[in-house]
Amino acid sequence: MNKVLKTISFLMILTSSGISIQGQTENDLKLWYDEPAENWNEALPIGNGRIGAMIFGNPSLERLQLNEETIWAGQPNSIAHDKALMALPKVRKLIFDGKYKAAQDLATSDIRSQTNNGMPYQTFGNVYISFPGHQDYTNYYRDLDIQSALASVSYKVDDVTYKREIISAFKDDVVAVKLSADQPGKITANILMNSPYDKTDPVSRDDIIMLDGTSSNHEGLRGGVDFEGRVAVSTNSGSAVSENGSISIKEADEVTIYISIATNFKNYKDLSEDVRSKTISLLDAARKRDFETIKKDHADYYQKFFNRVSLDLGKTDALDQPTNQRIKNFSEQDDPQLVELYFQFGRYLLISSSQPGGQPANLQGIWNDMLFPPWESKYTMNINAEMNYWPAELTNLPEMHEPFIQLAKEVSETGKKTARIMYDADGWVLHHNTDIWRITGPIDNAHSGMWPSGGAWLMQDLWERYNYSGDKDYLREIYPIMKGSAEFFLDFMIPHPEFGYMVVIPSNSPENSHGGGEGNASITAGATMDQQLMFDLFTHTAEAAEILNQDVEFVQKLNGAKEKLAPMQIGRYGQLQEWLKDWDDPEDDHRHISHLYGLFPSNQISPFRNPELFESTKVVLEHRGDKSTGWSMGWKVNLWARLLDGNHAYKLLNDQLSLVGSDGGGSYPNMLDAHPPFQIDGNFGVTAGIAEMLMQSHEGAIHILPALPDAWEQGSIQGIRARGGFTINLLEWENNEIQQLTVKSNLGGNLRLRTASKLDFKNLKTAKGENPNPFFRINPIQKPIVKDKSKTTQPDLPKYYEYDIKTEKGKTYTFSAK
């Protein structure tokens, strides 16, 4: 904070509000505003996967708050320790004896990390651009164009119109800023960098300014990430002078500012990159290119991903309002285009924060203005990190999935050491959190940290990629990781002395407390979510081995272990039980609904295959309520979509697309998700949920319009992907019924369609009874334990038609309403 104040004092700038009269332009895919951002939650995010920036848009003092994806506190380390080995049997006995609080206390003291609790993701700092005399302005407008990944600001001072364009360039790997005016010689500005770390004052070198530093020490671990940022300018006429750590520009017609940032990070165990050479080479290469060329290459790269999918739910006059007003008014006005914008904004954020070869999107994507952000912006593996990638395959961004898959490979390496040292087990383990150093042991306290199933959920995510692609080379690549995770749990699980089932112990139902023992503990054995995760892990690993013709004996072992897992249970309220024992409380409104993993993102619960379980999940959601933290509401959009209730899913969209308030999450004015505070997973979760409302493919059939709300009477979507190797090239509906459907078969095989409308199938070969496709299999039916049949109901499902069509690889098939 002191350095920011020093910066503003140095620039001697006063800021003030302007008069706004300008509205939305021709491109509907814009977040736009008629006033500058007053705080970080109103600023607009840009990013190229590696470098992120938040743009504030103040006419007299522009602030670009900057991030680089590898600036984390600390350095390579492991938190595995052998003290856990002696504590493990004691903790297990206490749990089995019903002494949950004592077990939790012992796990906190002797099993969790004895050194650190993971390292925080950190900001780089800021670049400020001051404009003397621009305190009084009119005609103010700023936007973020997610069609071209470009932020812009425009306003008028006296009779001169000024404009800024800002990108985090994908191809050139720098932040580039263009300053222009509609009259010559009118751009006079000063540029300064600052950073909140010690000993990071900017200096002038030749015609640039630069700033370097080292990431923070944290919890006894010395900071080891060296970073450097450089700023250079190019002017059309006028002058630019670098001195005293700033650049002064006078009377230019046009200015391009280039910002490069780099670190010494090579990978999670190697900090040997030559940071200076990288920043110099990036800056030198960019300076040889003008802004328009950089912008074109940037947009071309971005749009080859973004333009794959379009959504049209209709337009209303709400488009004429600034985005913050539309969010504020969403529940009270007809604004279907705001849903489109939110959907595509999620895809924009994923492209901008998760590029091949880089780090996966963390709890805040790549956007963070703090040294020690909430939850340290790590990778929380008990839902949040996985939720970030729910849109990746579904909304046709599979390349963006690659950093998360690389993370899985890396934690499978570090997790081997943790499994052996802490639990004397084969395979590998990942608990509820990791960071850039790929720690895998339990952190924080046992209330949340004593959850060893993060690796199992990660494997479900990797398996989903195969379900969409059918790529056997990819399956060969990930199978050893899947096998290693399964090996760990085969070693780690033990039989429950009361019930006889094989259970994960110690564990918890993420972050929730149960009613056992003293009624204030989380630690337990055999939580429902763990049993669901084990079912998926053993099922999918066995399937992968069979597809690849490997490990026959291991497959038998997996299938045998699966038979010993506890089935899902329906409790005394007709609810799906969260724990092995019926401890659920109807008054519990906890944000985590972990035992509904079996409904979504898994496919273990189905209205067609196990209707009693299907109905029991509704009871859980009704007990928990709708309003919650932002990411939790994002999950609930998907859950209600899977429950085939489009109107309730739409109600959750209303809750999420509301300005954040005291009663729970929602959205900030810049449309970022509010836990609160900001977490990006809610954005990604809702993007996936909107697609799930329009198409689902988890049961071996492509279900068209499964959860269409009454509010979306007509519309279209293009480019989303379905499991089994299919792309929905076009889906159009009117009066809530399908008008046209075009499906591309990328792999060939059977296409099974499930619709509420009759379709015309002229000149198509049918393939009734064949497998849905050559590789995608649905989970087998599980028979639940039902405590009281009188508490269960059967779903009231509408009439559906189901069609099987024999398809050829690479061909497209079109169906129309009959």
Over range 635-652, report the average pLDDT: 97
Q: Which of 16-30, 233-247, 564-578, 744-758 has the lowest mean pLDDT?
A: 16-30
Dump pLDDT digits (tens) for 756-773.
Answer: 988 887 767 777 777 777
- Give yes or no for a contact between 683 and 637, defined as CB atoms under 8 angstroms apart: no
Which pLDDT belongs to residue 8?
39
Q: What percent of the chain has pLDDT over 90?
A: 88
Which pLDDT belongs to residue 662?
64
Closest alpha carbon to 400 in 479, 301, 471: 301
DSSP string, 677-735: SB-SHHHHHHHHHHHHHHEE-TTSSEEESTT--TT--SEEEESEEETTTEEEEEEEEET
| Percent composition of the chain: helix, strand, coil (DSSP 3-state, to 5) | 35, 25, 40
Over range 586-614, report the average pLDDT: 95
Confidence of residue 388 (pLDDT cuts 50, 70, 90): very high
The one-letter amino acid at 551: D
Helices (H), 522-667: 528-547, 552-563, 611-624, 630-642, 646-656
Size (the chain), residues: 818
Domains of the chain listed by start with CATH number: 2-9+30-73+124-307 (2.70.98.50), 697-818 (2.60.40.1180)
Strand pairing report for 175-181 and 160-168:
antiparallel
Which pLDDT belongs to residue 762?
72
Which has the higher per-residue pLDDT, 121 or 736? 121
Q: Which of 212-226, 360-374, 657-671, 744-758 has the lowest mean pLDDT?
A: 657-671
Dump pLDDT digits (tens) for 334-365.
Answer: 999 999 999 999 999 999 999 999 999 999 99
Which has the higher per-residue pLDDT, 774 or 479? 479
Dump pLDDT digits (tens) for 556-596.
Answer: 999 999 999 999 999 999 999 999 999 999 999 999 999 99
Q: How many CA atoms lie within 13 A of 559 on its CB side?
A: 13
- pLDDT of 553 above 60: yes
- Give yes or no for a contact between 660 and 613, defined as CB atoms under 8 angstroms apart: no
Which has the higher per-residue pLDDT, 624 or 782? 624
Confidence of residue 17 (pLDDT cuts 50, 70, 90): very low
Number of separate helices (H) and strands (E) present in the chain: 19, 35
pTM: 0.96
- pLDDT of 25 above 90: no
Which pLDDT belongs to residue 24?
35
- pLDDT of 16 above 60: no
Taking all residues of the chain, what is their mean pLDDT, rounded to a whole number?
94
Which pLDDT belongs to residue 21?
29
Distance, CA of 348 to chain centre: 11
Which pLDDT belongs to residue 20?
31
Confidence of residue 384 (pLDDT cuts 50, 70, 90): very high
Which pLDDT belongs to residue 791?
86
Q: What is the largest CA-CA distance in the chain?
A: 83
Q: Which of 94-103, 353-362, 750-759 has the lowest mean pLDDT?
A: 750-759
Structure tokens at 73: 């506190």
Over range 268-293, report the average pLDDT: 97
**How far apart are alpha carbons 205 and 761 in whole angstroms?**
70
Confidence of residue 11 (pLDDT cuts 50, 70, 90): very low
Dump pLDDT digits (tens) for 285-342.
Answer: 999 999 999 999 999 999 999 999 999 999 999 999 999 999 999 989 999 999 999 9
Confidence of residue 22 (pLDDT cuts 50, 70, 90): very low
Structure tokens at 274: 């030559």
Over range 632-641, report the average pLDDT: 97
Query: Cα-flanking dihedrals φ and ψ of residue 319, to 5°?
Result: -55, -25
Which pLDDT belongs to residue 26?
54
